[in-house]
A and B are shown apart, each in its own frame.
Chain A
Amino acid sequence: MTAYVIRNANLLGDEVTDLRIVDGVISEIGRDLDTGDAEVLDADGLIALPGLVDLHTHLREPGREDAETVETGTRAAAVGGFTLVHAMANTDPVADTAGVVEQVWRLGREHGFCDVAPVGAVTVGLGGSTLAELGAMADSAAHVRVFSDDGKCVSDAVLMRRALEYVKAFDGVIAQHAQEPRLTEGAQMNEGELSGVLGLTGWPAVAEEAIIARDVLLAEHVGSRLHVCHLSTRGSVEIVRWAKSRGIDVTAEVTPHHLLLTDQLAATYDPIYKVNPPLRTADDVEALREALAEGVIDIVATDHAPHPSEDKDCEWAAAAFGMTGLETALSVVQHAMVDTGLLDWAGVAERMSAAPARIGRVATHGRPIAAGEPANVVLYDPRATRVVEPSDSVSRSRNTPYRGMELPGRVVATFLRGRPTVLHGAVVEEVAA
């Protein structure tokens, strides 16, 4: 395996140093390292971050390979600086058995662009009525620790309680998609002034907040840990803040798009902005940013949701929910959090690498950049800018909501266990182990 010396990287924006990567491990950190026969990468002006970890990705395989595959999705992840993504269970067939999760996990290893940690379904077929074989998935080669019916809410309170309790046996966590189903029947966008004017069925904040409130109380009652997916409202932030203050073991994520975009975009009726949970108000965006800075929200997770063009090239009500996000996540976080002074690069590393790995109970990712640690490293140029062009995407799908927007930053290189998956901003093709 090629050895690398990375010259003059800015470690978490804090300290300029060299890194030596040998045999998949960061072997040495310091100024003016000997190059020897190592390949030298000039990282002048680049920020070095630990490889990013996404707790919420839709890779669509098996079943919707027209939207994304494990291969295309992990390539997109690598381009975005990720070294591990958690693949959501709402595939076809649903990832509710050891067989399916092992298949997805293995595909990730084979392609080698980014590790894949499958998320197991909580209920059989995401049906919301029968617990899936959570233990079998935990014991499988995929080593599943995160369980979610994402896309659907585990709305049955008893079932949710049982799931929270059951996964304690293997230190798992239930990642809840908080959406009260009856309050959101036919819902299309955030319920607010605009939904009434546009005649689009409203998606009230209370539909999310009511489930989060119930779930934190359940988690407290049974002493389990709970993870809240893609939190989107100020009210949700307040509930999580309150739960944490009571010592409830709850963690929460926010998506990049909820940190930047607002429901006003629905006025275009362009379903590129249709997403679940819906884009909320500017006030919610402000609350989410503050909560992420403060740590009430623990992590950023992309909810990368690729869709083929025909699922978006239609009228709003007929369109699929979701946006791609892997390739733009770090840029959006820089724009919304770092450039606004709310978060420093160490904070970014915590919320996009260390904390999501901890929640997913992944030992080999989200580690600090230090001698002896696995060489999962991103080199990022925060001074670069780009105008987002959907056609530039390496994801199979093009449904980015940032089309035409200028975003800061560019991932220059991604290392996965010492092997570059991205170099000079482009995917390195021969990475399969």
Chain B
Amino acid sequence: MRHLLSTGDLSRDEAVLLLDTAEEMLSVAERPIKKLPTLRGRTVVNLFFEDSTRTRISFEAAAKRLSADVINFAAKGSSVSKGESLKDTALTLQAMGADAVVIRHGASGAPARLARAGWIDSAILNAGDGSHEHPTQALLDAFTMRRHLAPAGDRTLEGRRVAIVGDVLHSRVARSNALLLSTLGAEVTLVAPPTLMPYGVASWPVETSYDLDPVLAKSDAVMMLRVQHERMNAAYFPSAREYSRRYGLDSKRMAKMPDDAIVMHPGPMNRGMEISADVADSTRSVIVEQVTNGVAVRMAALYLLLSGARTPEPTPGDAGGVLSDQTEGQA
């Protein structure tokens, strides 16, 4: 692993390795000294083009627990046309000797661009890009599910049933989870109103449903996605009330879930919209635990990307070969 851009890039073995490593990292949090010397002398830059205090803090804690030096680089303003370009920012970080760049960006593919454009040779960790992916969130979700749902000794999620409910269309969390959980053997069902289901979802390794109730009854984990109120104005659904009634998780609905099923939410929650307060605070909710696990998973990712020797990778500067292959025989 050179970068962590998409959970789709992870093989099952790599995904399991990340989760196993996170398991060890989690135990560090229980020790008197919550720090390891592993990344001493390494520099991790948190490059956040979007505000996300929780994700940034989580990465910062992870890097610091591994003794890396952390630089927080908040690129102000979401307008990329103003101010410094991504390229110039990357060149600056390269000159500063960043070993890893944790990037959060509003544009899908910005981390991939950083990894491939040749501006910087740091390891790139995608901390959420546009409506593309958020791999460490999916890893922490899978990690949390594995701790709760996998029988002892099972390092995958083989046969576990996971429902992901809400604004799948705009959700990077849903994309990363759909790919990762399938890789780990889980059966994923995406639940959303048709307007919030991505075009072409039939090609994803998941089931889909427009109806929440029948899916709840056969789910080991239910992940509620944040739904932004402004989607309403774009006619994705008629009203918050109607959305909540059809796709929100309240205690009445939760009662339909199997006894040991868990409720998850990547946060931040809209209480009363996609999840009712009593569900969020119930004993089935593992939402707070997700936060704890987030640090461990990010420690694992940083450790696996940064601790070893840099393995050289062919530079993709010349896409010619790929191009010719793709265009051959189209006539």
Contact = CB atoms under 8 A, between A and B. Distances in A.
A278 B149 CA distance: 44
Contact of A286 (B81, B87, B133, B331): B331
Nearest to B324: A405
A60 B44 CA distance: 42
A318 B81 contact: yes
Contacts of B112: 268-269
A269 B113 contact: yes
A316 B330 contact: no
Given A199-B175, A315-B80, A193 B108 contact: no
Contact of A406 (B106, B116, B316, B320): B320
B60 interface: no
Contacts of B85: 310, 313-314, 318
Which of A199, A286, A387 has the most chain B CB atoms closer than 10 A to its own CB? A199
A313 B175 CA distance: 26
Given A285-B330, A310-B85, A314-B86, A199 B201 contact: no
Interface string B235-261: 000000000000000000000000000
Interface string A399-416: 000111110000000000
A317 B113 contact: no
Nearest to A199: B132
B214 to A, nearest CB: 24
Contacts of A197: 8, 175, 198, 200, 203-204
Contact of A268 (B132, B198, B319): B319
Which of A195, A286, A317 has the most chain B CB atoms closer than 10 A to its own CB? A317
Interface residues of B, number: 40
Contacts of B326: 262, 264-265
A317 B107 contact: yes
Given A197-B200, A199-B175, A265-B323, A316 B318 contact: no
Nearest to A261: B327
Contact of A316 (B108, B133, B198): B108
B327 A404 contact: no
Nearest to B234: A185
Contacts of B97: none
Given A265-B323, A317-B109, A405-B323, 19 more contacts: A193-B203, A197-B8, A198-B108, A198-B132, A199-B129, A199-B130, A199-B175, A200-B108, A200-B130, A268-B319, A286-B330, A289-B330, A315-B109, A315-B110, A316-B107, A318-B80, A318-B81, A318-B85, A404-B321
29 contacts: A188-B108, A192-B199, A193-B199, A193-B203, A195-B199, A195-B200, A196-B198, A196-B203, A196-B204, A197-B8, A198-B108, A261-B323, A265-B326, A268-B319, A269-B113, A270-B116, A270-B319, A310-B85, A313-B87, A314-B86, A314-B87, A316-B108, A317-B106, A317-B130, A318-B85, A318-B86, A403-B318, A405-B324, A406-B324
Interface of A: 188, 191-200, 202, 204, 260-262, 264-265, 268-270, 282, 285-286, 289, 310, 313-318, 336, 340, 342, 387-388, 402-406
Interface of B: 8, 80-81, 85-87, 105-110, 112-113, 116-117, 129-133, 172, 175, 198-201, 203-204, 316, 318-321, 323-324, 326-327, 330-331
